[in-house]
Amino acid sequence: MAGKPLSQSDSNPSSSSTPSQVQPSRVVSRLGESAKVTAILAIMVFAFWMVKKKLATGGVTYEKVIESIGSLPWYHFAIALALTVLNYVVLTGYDWIAVRHLRKKLAITKIMAGAVVGYACGNVLGWLLGGNAVRYRLYSTWGFSLLEIIAFVSILSITFWLGLFLLAGIAFVALPIHLPEDIMEMLVLNPKAWGYIFLSCVTGYLLSCILIRKPIRFRDFEVALPPLKLSVMQLVVSAGDFLLATTVLYSLMPPDVIGPDKINFSTVLIAYLSAQIAAVVSHVPGGFGILESILLSFLPSEANTEVFTAVILFRAIYYFLPFLVAGLIFLYNEFRVSKRPAEMLHGK
């Protein structure tokens, strides 16, 4: 991806906007940002209100949640921790694909660090507040230009949606999904119809990667689609990511509520994917309230205590533990960056 160079009028101070012209645009921009933040906060408040309502309706109490945590076998925690570590290794694939497609050279240790920090911060703080901000800081210190970072994040986003659409398509078309009637009505279309739509999007992308080999121009930018081999890797990495994350969540549910005739894996997968879509679209940091509300809505109400307990443990193991590790990695990188001038002065 390459940016269009500034024209002569762009670089000429005499052609720049006067203060009287700039001031209204700044006011409009600030109003727009304020409206966006207000909307996000409103969504969060509504989501938490929905969670509180569902917990009250389902008779979920603090004592029941503590009891549910205590009754969960220890090996469920061990499985969740092991799968979380494996999942963050798989997440490295997102960044590796982006680096490979941009034809940049970067050590695998830095790619892993960028993936862990970017996704751990994005999971807790949201992509706008956390994931993209720390990625910009890290990759700019590693020699990436602003346009390359924009292209980098765009590739990550495409990879994210590819895996989500692939799994949602397969689940709706071929797997048993047990959703409440009110949720089924909200789908409007038949679940299989949604599945075929999702799979058609994935197929269309793969065909585009095969047939369109020239860069596509969008105003000031050029975008080149990845070759088929790399696009298939996008599907594998993203699908593996969502499957592992869902398995972490599923492993934190007690054995007596999971199974083919109870809460099955494919239904939890659809619920988790739906929560991811809602969190990304709404820009709610960490999807707080969103994930809880959707899982409680999609899964049987008689298991509300176990489901809510699983979400709490999932946030602790899958979100907050990696976030602490990411914070240490980020601080270490900042320390190394601060030492660079001194090292250069000593000829190191």
144-159 per-position pLDDT tens digit? 988 888 889 889 999 9
Residue 343: inside a domain, yes or no?
no
Residue 196: inside a domain, yes or no?
yes
Residue 24 has pLDDT above 80, yes or no: no
Kindly give the residue spans of alpha helices, DSSP state H, lying in 212-261.
Answer: 228-251
Give the model's confidence band at 14: pLDDT under 50 very low, under 70 low, under 90 confident, else very high. very low
Domain of 322 in residue numbering reads as: 65-333
Mean pLDDT on 245-251 = 96
Residue 103 has pLDDT above 80, yes or no: yes
Kindly report the average pLDDT of the chain as a whole number. Answer: 83
CA–CA separation, 246 and 287 (whole Å)? 15
User: What's the domain count of the chain?
Assistant: 1
Q: What is the pLDDT of residue 29?
A: 60
CA–CA separation, 335 and 324 (whole Å)? 17
Token output for 158 = 């495409």
Q: What is the pLDDT of residue 7?
A: 39
Q: What is the pLDDT of residue 258?
A: 87
CA–CA separation, 323 and 96 (whole Å)? 20
What does 118-174 look like in DSSP terms, one character per residue? HHHHHHHH-IIIIIHHHHHHHHHHTT--HHHHHHHHHHHHHHHHHHHHHHHHHHHHH
Give the model's confidence band at 345: pLDDT under 50 very low, under 70 low, under 90 confident, else very high. very low
Residue 13 has pLDDT above 80, yes or no: no
What does 251-266 look like in DSSP terms, one character per residue? HTS-GGGBSTTSB-HH
> Kind and range of the H or E element at 25?
helix 19-57
Residue 55: inside a domain, yes or no?
no
Token output for 322 = 């990696």
Token output for 173 = 């078309």
Contact (CB, 8 A) for 119 and 91 = yes
Residue 60: inside a domain, yes or no?
no
Q: What is the pLDDT of residue 168?
A: 93
Q: What is the pLDDT of residue 10?
A: 43
Mean pLDDT on 254-268 = 87
> Kind and range of the H or E element at 201?
helix 191-211
Residue 159: inside a domain, yes or no?
yes
Residue 283: inside a domain, yes or no?
yes
Q: What is the pLDDT of residue 215?
A: 76
- Bridge partner residues of 216 (DSSP): 223
Residue 152: inside a domain, yes or no?
yes
CA–CA separation, 153 and 143 (whole Å)? 15
Residue 59 has pLDDT above 50, yes or no: yes
- Alpha carbons within 13 angstroms on the beta-carbon side of residue 213 total 4
Residue 94 has pLDDT above 60, yes or no: yes
Q: What is the pLDDT of residue 92?
A: 94
CA–CA separation, 232 and 198 (whole Å)? 16
Task: Flag whether the pTM goes above 0.85.
Answer: no
Within 10 angstroms of residue 317's Cβ, the number of other Cβ atoms is: 19
Phi/psi at 217 (nearest 5 deg)? -95, 130
Contact (CB, 8 A) for 280 and 156 = no
Q: What is the pLDDT of residues 212-224, one digit of tens each?
A: 878 777 666 677 8
List all residues 6 or more positions away from 13 whose beta carbon is below 8 Å from its beta carbon.
none
Q: Between these two residues, 242 and 330, which has the higher pLDDT value?
A: 242
Q: What is the pLDDT of residue 32?
A: 60
Residue 75: inside a domain, yes or no?
yes
Cα 218–chain centre separation: 25
Give the model's confidence band at 31: pLDDT under 50 very low, under 70 low, under 90 confident, else very high. low
Cα dihedral 261/262/263/267 (nearest 10): 40
